[in-house]
Each structure stands twice: as structure tokens, then as C-alpha cells.
Amino acid sequence: MEKNYINTYKQSVEDPEGFWGEAAEALVWDKKWDQVLDASNAPFYHWFSGGMLNTCYNAVDRHVDEGRADQNALIYDSPVTNTKQTYTFRELQGEVARLAGVLKSNGVEKGDRVLVYMPMIPQAVIGMLACARIGAVHSVVFGGFAAAELATRIDDAKPKIVLSASCGIEIERIIQYKPLLDKAIELSSHKPANTIIFQRPQAEAQMLDGRDLDWSSACEKADPAACVSVAATDPLYILYTSGTTGIPKGVVRDNGGHAVAMLWTMKNIYNVQPGEIYWAASDVGWVVGHSYIVYAPLLNGNTTVIYEGKPVFTPDAGAFWRVIEEHDISVMFTAPTAFRAIKKEDPNGELLKKYDLSHFRALFLAGERCDPPTLAWAENLLNVPVIDHWWQTETAWAIAANCLGIEQLPVKAGSPACAVPGYQVDVLDNDGQAVADGDIGSIMIKLPMPPGCLPTLWNDDERFVDSYLSTYPGYYLTGDAGYKDEDGYIWVMSRIDDIINVAGHRLSTGAIEEVIAEHPDVAECAVIGADDALKGELPVGLIVLKSGVERGDGEIEKEIISLVREKIGPVCAFKKVVIAARLPKTRSGKILRGTMKKIADCKTYKMPATIDDPAILDEIKIVLKSIGYA
């Protein structure tokens, strides 16, 4: 049969066991699976049950054994420290095995959790792989989160050990990680037995005797640890992501289904062959980093790039072009916001003229909807396919994409193209009925989802079912709304919950509101995601003060901004807050956040039928105007 999108897609949904069973043959298994898809405990589905393997073996050791020992596995490129460093697969194997030995000798066993709080340095990847090597479950926390958020994750994952570094570097600013970690451990009820700290020359961390170990000296003394066979269904990692409350969701990833899916996507979605150099400009703290900086490229025998810098200001808006040329990148992946940042600094792409990108084949964008002007700008400048693809932390890989390794479909700007093989995507109305083509509804995925998607939430099967599986039986709720067109293209238009997307980072406005509500002068508040030309959306807070509070001069606003930064972290980019006399509500007391967002974005809105006092909307318009919106 001819390999094209339609045939491949049909095969994947008509015979998922045959399809994924064949894909799984590309990995090295210690023991083959008994069942490709185990539906015995639906709606909890398990892929490759009975199978045994090791993800680190397949990502690293396998390539040493099969002829890639001297190929670069990692390229570390850090414009903020002026460093470039490479690790071959053999060198990476040595580093990972030694750190795994350190973890083992400090009591970490199969199934134990290890929290990773690291900047974008090779040790972050080495840390993740060392856990996978001995069957420990890593949980990486993005460096831009504050101590309180880190503490929440420590309490939920209960790690035996935390891997961290003395500092991260944000353009020119040194961010001391160790005091943040110390504070988090002070705040958490669960106390990790040890931390292992990678000392960077830019800042030395103060070590606590008996608890904190020095990464480099521990590794020097360590016996390398071998790969441990784990069940395909055993957890590889937990990655926390924003839910609709302040308590993040611990998305669980298994070993077998994940490795199968990751490897399949490299050839079929990204069209990248083993040996090529692939770059995802993201951060290991996000799912893009887990999947496309670490696991997928290494499983596929690619060289992956760890870039410690920004698209702009490190040193200029030509930074991405330099990396693509210098490291011979064939395919790159980043978020549209990065391209908007480049476009802002260098609208005509003058800096590109300094570089030769003739070997560069494709740019993939995800993390937020790619607005058509940014897509067109990138296409015109780079003259290669620019592929928007849609996915989320929960799935680990694209739900909708233009799969370049199968068949390149025509690009429709604003749509991430069609459902990727393995995903049955339906758009449903409020009664769970499929809507007509072109009509907006809730985008749902029919169960079972393909391998690699979350089997559950960490220690919380009930929340997994409540959050994702209970809306319409037999379906997974993506939380996104949109429509399908007559060609089967999916258009992802908005969220149905309180999640907003700030520079490709997923944040919960509910979580920000919870923090603001802690301020003693605040009676009530609402946070909306207002449109932003650079970051897609920015959180904007509207607060109502308790009666009798008379402090003025912007003091309260400043305190609230600091509170959110201290409790959630700088990643929130929460810088706009304004005092309102009252907030618009329905007669039943629900705050009309959606209407306020439309006012902020200067969009037309329908007067909500249930509003208790329409005049409040005029007041809101005035206060939003005072901070540059509406």
C-alpha cells in the first residue's frame, strides 16, 4: 500500500495494536510485551503490558553498542556563559552511568522519585537519563518557578533526592537556584534526604553539611551503574502542569508506550533520520524539552542541542540562525512567541543574511496557536516548511500535525493540520454530540489514546478521571475548543477552562487569583489573559479592595505583583494589576472573566443575559484603559 497520510492514519485507528506493535519493534526490549494494548481496566489503558525495557539503554547505550559511540549525542551551546561543549554517545553514557551510581549509592531505588531543578545545562539531561537508567522516576521543575511552587511539587512527588545547580543565567542576570531550593525544602512537609548540587563558576552555592552533596566530586568517586530493566508500564517521569486550581497536576509518563511513540514521531512527524542534528529551543522543564530535547532525538540516534540562551539579546535576534548554521541543524522546534520576539527586533530578517541555512529543512512550532502573520513571516524568511502542530503536556507528542515524514499536506495558516495517526479527534457540543464541520465545540480525543499519552495523574486516579475522562464517556477532554473543517483540518481556537498561554508557558489564572486573594487588603479579584503581541497572552489582575482600605499610590498593586512573583515565579510575567470598584457578575455570582477579556482585547461582546448590573462593564473598560488595555 502507498504510504500517505490517509492510509497511515486509517491503519493506526483501524488496527492500533498492529500499528503500534510494529512501531515498537524499532526499540530494544529486554522482554517483549504480552499485549500491545491492555484494555482490561478501561478507562485506564496500558500499552505494551508485560514488556520490559530500559529507556536510557535505548536512548544512549544502544547507540554505543550499535555504532554511534563517537557521534555527538549532545551539543551544549550557551551564549550566556560563552561555552560550547559536546558529548559523544560514549561520553554521555559514562556521565549518565556515574551519576546513576551516585543516586544508587545514596539509596535511590527503582520507583523512587528524584526531583530535577536545573538550568539548561547538560547535567539536566544527564540527571534525567540517570534516573531512567536505574528505574527512578524523575520530576523536572522549570527554573522560573518560585520556591512555593517547588515545595508543592516536592510534597506531591516526595523525592528522595533533588538534583540542582548553583545558578541559572537569564541573559545577564544570575539566578541563584540553591537559596530557592533551600526555601522550598523549608516550606515542604516532605524533606528529601539529599540534594546533589552542580556548582557553576558564575555562583557558588552554600552547602548544608550532611544533606547537600557536590555533584562533580560525587561523580568522580562513583561506580557506574548499569541499566535496570523496568516494566513498559512503570513510570518514567512525572511532569507537573497547571490545572484549574492552584494544585498542579502530576502528569505520569510510562516507559514503554512513551519510548515507542517518541521514536515513531521523529521519523514520521519531523522527518528526521538517525545521525542528523535536531534542535528544540525550549527548556527541559517543559514537556517540549522532555520529549524533543531529551528523549525523542536520543532514542532516534540524533544529536540534540541544549541551548542556554534566548532568541533575542543573547546577543541579538540572529541567535537562532547562528545556532542552525554552526551546528548544522536540519530541523528545529520552538514556540511562535520566540519568532515574534525575533520579528520585533529584526522585522526584515537582516541578521539572517550573515548565515548560511541552506541545509535547514523545516521549522516546527507549538506551545500556543501560531498566528498566521508569524507563520507567514517565518515562511518568507526561511523558505522552508513552517509547521504548526498542536499538543499538550498530557499527550507528550502532537495530536495534530502536518506529518512531514508521511506526506506533506498543504499548509493552512492558523491550523495545525490534521489528526496525527493514533489520535481520533472529535469536536463535540455540550450534549456530547459531534458538531458539523466548521462549528466550534470542545475538542475531544476518543479513548484509548495512543502510546505515550498519560496513563494517569501521579497518585490520583480519581482526579485523572474527573479532570479528563468524565465529561463524555469514552473521550479524553483536551480543554481546547475549536473546529474541524471539510478537509479534516483541526482549528484550535481557545481554552474552555481558566488556562492561559504566556510565551508558550501554560498558566492557570485560578492559581494566580488564589495568590492575590491572600493579600490582606483584597476583597475579591479576577485574572484574565489579555492578548499580547509578543507573548500571546499576559495575565491581568483586577482587584476589589476591602472596604476601609485607603492606601493609594500604587503600593497595593506593587505588593500584589511581588506576591505573585514570590509565590508562583517570574515565569508568570504578572506585571499588570488594577483596582476596580466592583467586578461584573452573573446573577448567580459568577465573575464574567470572558467578557472582561473581550473588553481588554477591544473585541465586540454580547451583553451577558444573566449579568446583574450592565453598568459595571463601562467601569471595567475605564480601569482597563488606565493600564493600556481596552
Burial 239-275 (b: 16+ CB within 10 A, else e): bbbbbbebbbbbbbbbbbbbbbbbbbbbbbbbbbebe
CA distances to 55, 64, 191, 236, 350 from 134, in Å: 10, 18, 22, 10, 48
Q: Which of 122, 135, 144, 243 binds ligand COA (CB under 6 A)?
A: 144
Q: How many CB atoms lie within 10 A of CB 201?
A: 9
Closest of 444, 435, 429, 453 to residue 476, by C-alpha: 444
Task: Kindly state the smallest distance separating residue 338's Cβ from ligand COA, in Å.
Answer: 4
DSSP 173: E
Question: Regarding beta strands 331-334 and 113-117, do their DSSP bridges make them parallel or antiparallel, or are they unpaired?
Answer: unpaired
Question: How far is Cα of residue 601 from the mean position of the Cα atoms in its chain?
Answer: 26
Q: Are 136 and 109 in contact (CB under 8 A)?
A: yes
Phi, psi (rounded to 5 degrees) for 511: -65, -35
Task: Kindly state the smallest distance separating residue 21's Cβ from ligand AMP, in Å.
Answer: 28
The 132-171 contact track toward ligand AMP, x by CB under 6 A, reads: ----------------------------------------
Burial 507-528 (b: 16+ CB within 10 A, else e): bbbbbbbbbbeebebbebbbbb
Residue 363 in the binding site for ligand COA (CB under 6 A): no
Question: Regarding beta strands 362-365 and 522-532, do their DSSP bridges make them parallel or antiparallel, or are they unpaired?
Answer: unpaired
Q: Please give the size of the binding site for ligand AMP, defined by CB under 6 A.
A: 20
Phi, psi (rounded to 5 degrees) for 478: -80, -25
By CB under 6 A, the residues from 146 to 185 that bind ligand COA are 168, 170, 175
By CB under 6 A, the residues from 98 to 127 that bind ligand AMP are none
Q: With contacts defined by CB under 6 A, name the span among 311-319, 386-394, 524-532, 613-621 that binds ligand AMP.
A: 386-394
For helices 509-516 and 555-567, angle between their N-to-C axes, nearest 10 degrees: 120
Q: How many CB atoms lie within 10 A of CB 319?
A: 22
C-alpha cell at 62: 544502544
The 109-128 contact track toward ligand COA, x by CB under 6 A, reads: ----------x---------
Q: Which of 78, 291, 337, 392 binds ligand COA (CB under 6 A)?
A: 337
Amino acid identity for residue 143 in this structure: G
Residue 275 in the binding site for ligand COA (CB under 6 A): no
Residue 248 in the binding site for ligand AMP (CB under 6 A): no
Residue 286 in the binding site for ligand COA (CB under 6 A): yes
Question: How far is it, in rounded angstroms, from Cα 240 to Cα 246?
Answer: 12
Residue 200 in the binding site for ligand COA (CB under 6 A): no
Task: Kindly state the smallest distance separating residue 569's Cβ from ligand COA, in Å.
Answer: 7
Q: With contacts defined by CB under 6 A, name the span among 205-213, 230-238, 388-396, 601-609 that binds ligand AMP.
A: 388-396
Closest of 102, 91, 134, 92 to residue 218, by C-alpha: 102
By CB under 6 A, the residues from 453 to 472 that bind ligand COA are none
Pick between residue 143 and residue 250 the one whose CB is nearest to ligand COA. Answer: 143
The 407-446 contact track toward ligand AMP, x by CB under 6 A, reads: ---------x------------------------------
283 binds, among ligand AMP, ligand COA, none (CB under 5 to 8 A by kind): ligand COA
Pick between residue 382 and residue 401 the one whose CB is nearest to ligand AMP. Answer: 401
Q: Where are the alpha helices (DSSP H) in 71-146?
A: 89-105, 122-134
Pick between residue 375 and residue 573 the one whose CB is nearest to ligand COA. Answer: 573
Q: Which of 506, 535, 576, 585 binds ligand AMP (CB under 6 A)?
A: 506
Task: Kindly state the smallest distance separating residue 320's Cβ from ligand AMP, in Å.
Answer: 19
Binding site for ligand COA (CB under 6 A): 119, 143-144, 168, 170, 175, 282-283, 286, 288, 310-312, 334-335, 337-338, 341, 367, 503-505, 570-571, 573
Binding site for ligand AMP (CB under 6 A): 241, 287, 366-369, 388-393, 416, 478-480, 492, 495, 501, 506
